[in-house]
Amino acid sequence: MVQATDSVVLLSGGVGGAKLALGLHRALPPAALTIIANIGDDFRHLGLAISPDIDTLIYTLADLVNPDTGWGRRDETWNFMAELERLGGETWFRLGDRDLASHVERSRRLEAGDALSTITRETCQRLGIGSHIVPASDRRVQTRVVTDAGVLAFQDYFVRQRAQPVVSEVRFAGAAEAVPPATAMAALGDPGLRAILIAPSNPWLSIDPILAIPALRAALEKSTVARVAVSPIVAGQAIKGPTAKIMAELGMPVNQVGIARHYRGLIDGLVLDHADAGEVAAVEALGIRAITTSTVMQTLEDRMTLARFALEFAATLRRP
Amino acid sequence: MVQATDSVVLLSGGVGGAKLALGLHRALPPAALTIIANIGDDFRHLGLAISPDIDTLIYTLADLVNPDTGWGRRDETWNFMAELERLGGETWFRLGDRDLASHVERSRRLEAGDALSTITRETCQRLGIGSHIVPASDRRVQTRVVTDAGVLAFQDYFVRQRAQPVVSEVRFAGAAEAVPPATAMAALGDPGLRAILIAPSNPWLSIDPILAIPALRAALEKSTVARVAVSPIVAGQAIKGPTAKIMAELGMPVNQVGIARHYRGLIDGLVLDHADAGEVAAVEALGIRAITTSTVMQTLEDRMTLARFALEFAATLRRP
């Protein structure tokens, strides 16, 4: 059973990770969950500071998210974009009227000197989200994708070019100098910490920007708490997004061994889908415990079930 | 008859002035009209650069304006504001979803180094507005209202405090150092210039910020072209807004003589409403020709009729 003093940390990107984040948020007591969110996708657009993964996590946990896309706002309208197009503005990155409030308010507060972590914390409080969403850093970390079409800013690669270019390397500008917010480090050092989970987000695009921050990687490496990743790959395919495509482009096997090798030294256990039961032995040969369940989350119940499964798996992995 | 080579300059504020601006725009050949717009109300809000009078003029001439209010956009939606309120942002100055595109795009371009006059010109071109809308300056001029509630920024006085405080003085920060865009000076120096009109905007709040810019005041003072103001006062009342209230608070008569004295040296003629026919002699005693017509503009036809009337009146005032 989860105790009131128990706490859990989740490293997460956007849509895919937010599904597990919601499961944990609903399965755990209020305030037990700290989500360290990817900021490598953050960018300035139309003069606004946009934090896609933080917003997806906030909208998801506040039950404001568009259930059809997994990002953006439910009951969204697009009159701002229609008028921006009329005025000749840039429209390749679409911002809904409701969603825009987050970007305008965040931009205003950043300009006024507030830290991204402060803004995010107060937004969560305002929206009644008991879990803690903490950006991996208050300093910018920018994902740059080295491709056959050049070195691309993340949103250029991901949205404008629809992840079509062939990836040879992913870089995280600013990561070496970035320092996690004190709340992130405190959550990772909490004596009541029960598990560190890595969401089934894209390891190269969504989790690596977090792990590229030296203090966060070191905290994971040194933690004595059970560390469990949920694999984003099922039967050689990504549940969502370009994970499988990137793995192949980077020359690694598109399977659980590829995921396990990537996280080796950072995780004690890997949760796989039943479809990949045949890979359990190969993962465990790398010194990582592996377990299978259904990792495809369609319903809220799926999310909570997988969350509980990962926590129970972690509980079996308590390190000495 | 208006000749293709004839041109007209109008000094204008927002809603009230935009009515006459639209009448002139429709009555004159394409590109014959240059509107020098008040920028004293411009302010930064939510991190965005907002130019209320320029936008009102653009929306009015592009037939995009909300016909019920005379400002803002037709078929506007307010989802951005609703979400901003949910996030705890400032909501006293309401920005509609469609309207917001103007502020975001303007802010982005100003940040990128474009001049307000360039942005305004290109927006007009984009929207198919043949008339020229020119901000009185590319440098900021900020109206400050000295009141019994302190020295207030314009929008604080006008929107947040609903023009309730008692006004003792109006100041224009930055006006002494401001220089009009070259297009404004070129319009005023155009050999084909036929008339300089002052719209029935609030003389103290909307026209004075323009006239406080030394080069514009000097151009008006020295011009040999007929200069005609349309009075914003009818029978001791303002058609819209706090003009009459401010006149009383500043200790001047709330009538045509008050208006005529204010513009003395800058106008050759004043268009009054029929209701004030009894004041023609008093105005003319000040050396300003006065003429009466119906100055209340309800319909588009009213706007065009008053525009033509003012132009014809100006034609009778050609100066030596």
Domain positions in chain B: 7-63+122-140+178-315
Tokens 């935009």 sit on residue: B18
Residue A265 sits at the chain B interface (C-beta within 8 Å): no
- Nearest by CB to B98, from A79, A89, A107: name it: A79
pLDDT of residue B4: 47
For A153-209, what is each residue's pLDDT tens digit?
999 999 999 999 999 999 999 999 999 999 999 999 999 999 999 999 999 999 999
Does the complex come out with an ipTM higher than 0.95? no
In a mutational test of the A interface, the residue from B105, B111, B122 whose CB has the highest number of chain A CBs within 10 Å is B105
pLDDT of residue A35: 98
> Do residues B121 and B21 make contact, with C-beta atoms less than 8 angstroms apart?
no
Q: How confident is the model at residue A3 (pLDDT cuts 50, 70, 90)?
A: very low
- Nearest by CB to A80, from B48, B101, B127: name it: B101
For B140-178, what is each residue's pLDDT tens digit?
999 999 999 999 999 999 999 999 999 999 999 999 999
What is chain A's mean pLDDT, rounded?
95
Contact B88 A122 (CB under 8 A): yes
E strands within chain B?
7-12, 33-37, 43-45, 48-50, 132-135, 142-147, 150-153, 167-173, 193-198, 227-230, 233-234, 237-238, 269-273, 289-293
Contact A100 B100 (CB under 8 A): yes
pLDDT of residue A319: 63
pLDDT of residue A233: 95
Residue B113 sits at the chain A interface (C-beta within 8 Å): no
Contact B47 A84 (CB under 8 A): no
- Nearest by CB to A98, from B76, B80, B107: name it: B80
The answer, yes or no, to whether residue A1 has pLDDT greater than 70, is no
Minimum distance, in Å, between the CA of residue B86 and any CA atom of chain A: 8
Residue B84 sits at the chain A interface (C-beta within 8 Å): yes
Residue B121 sits at the chain A interface (C-beta within 8 Å): no
In a mutational test of the A interface, the residue from B74, B85, B100 whose CB has the highest number of chain A CBs within 10 Å is B100
Residue A82 sits at the chain B interface (C-beta within 8 Å): yes
In a mutational test of the B interface, the residue from A81, A97, A98 whose CB has the highest number of chain B CBs within 10 Å is A97
Write out chain B's pLDDT in tens, 320 residues.
Answer: 344 469 999 999 999 999 999 999 999 998 999 999 999 999 999 999 999 999 999 999 999 999 999 999 999 999 999 999 999 999 999 999 999 999 999 999 999 999 999 999 999 999 999 999 999 999 999 999 999 999 999 999 999 999 999 999 999 999 999 999 999 999 999 999 999 999 999 999 999 999 999 999 999 999 999 999 999 999 999 888 899 999 999 999 999 999 999 999 999 999 999 999 999 999 999 999 999 999 999 999 999 999 999 999 999 996 65
Minimum distance, in Å, between the CA of residue B87 and any CA atom of chain A: 6
Q: How confident is the model at residue A2 (pLDDT cuts 50, 70, 90)?
A: very low
pLDDT of residue B281: 98
- According to CATH, the topology of domain A7-315 is Rossmann fold (3.40.50)
CA–CA dist A61, A47 (Å, integer)? 27
The answer, yes or no, to whether residue A266 has pLDDT greater than 70, is yes
From B130, B133, B138, B137, select the one nearest B109 (Cα to Cα).
Answer: B138
List all residues 6 or more positions away from A20 whose beta carbon is below 8 Å from its beta carbon. A10, A12, A197, A199, A200, A230, A297, A303, A306, A307, A310
Measured between beta carbons, which residues in chain B are less than 8 angstroms from residue A47?
A: 104, 107-108, 111
- Nearest by CB to B108, from A47, A111, A127: name it: A47
Burial of A188 (0-12, 13-18, 19+ CB in 10 A): buried
Contact B104 A77 (CB under 8 A): no
Contact A86 B101 (CB under 8 A): yes
From B142, B147, B143, B144, select the one nearest B249 (Cα to Cα).
Answer: B147
Q: What's domain B7-63+122-140+178-315's superfamily in CATH? A: CofD-like domains (3.40.50.10680)
Minimum distance, in Å, between the CA of residue A46 and any CA atom of chain B: 6
DSSP B163-231: T-SPEEEEEEETGGG----HHHHHHHH-TTEEEEEE-SS-IIIIIHHHHTSHHHHHHHHH--S-EEEE-
Max Cα separation, chain B?
A: 63
Residue A113 sits at the chain B interface (C-beta within 8 Å): no
pLDDT over 70 percentage in chain A: 98
Of A3-12, A19-28, A189-198, least confident by mean pLDDT is A3-12
The DSSP bridge partners found for residue A230 are: A271
Contact A79 B83 (CB under 8 A): no
Residue B243 sits at the chain A interface (C-beta within 8 Å): no
Encoded tokens for A46:
């139309």
Residue B185 sits at the chain A interface (C-beta within 8 Å): no
Measured between beta carbons, which residues in chain B are less than 8 angstroms from residue A97?
A: 77, 79-80, 83, 97, 100
Minimum distance, in Å, between the CA of residue A34 and any CA atom of chain B: 21
> Do residues A97 and A104 make contact, with C-beta atoms less than 8 angstroms apart?
no
Q: How confident is the model at residue A248 (pLDDT cuts 50, 70, 90)?
A: very high
List all residues 6 or more positions away from A256 whose beta carbon is below 8 Å from its beta carbon. A231, A233, A270, A272, A276, A279, A282, A283, A290
By CA distance, what is A123's nearest residue in B? Answer: B87
For B90-137, what is each residue's pLDDT tens digit?
999 999 999 999 999 999 999 999 999 999 999 999 999 999 999 999
pLDDT of residue B239: 81
pLDDT of residue A320: 52
Residue B79 sits at the chain A interface (C-beta within 8 Å): yes
For A63-83, what is each residue's pLDDT tens digit?
999 999 999 999 999 999 999
pLDDT of residue B319: 63
Q: How confident is the model at residue A240 (pLDDT cuts 50, 70, 90)?
A: confident
Encoded tokens for B164:
């309730």
Q: Hey, how many other C-beta atoms are within 10 angstroms of the C-beta on A299?
A: 8
pLDDT of residue A239: 81
Count contacts between A and B (CB, < 8 Å).
102
The answer, yes or no, to whether residue A4 has pLDDT greater than 70, is no
pTM (predicted TM-score): 0.91
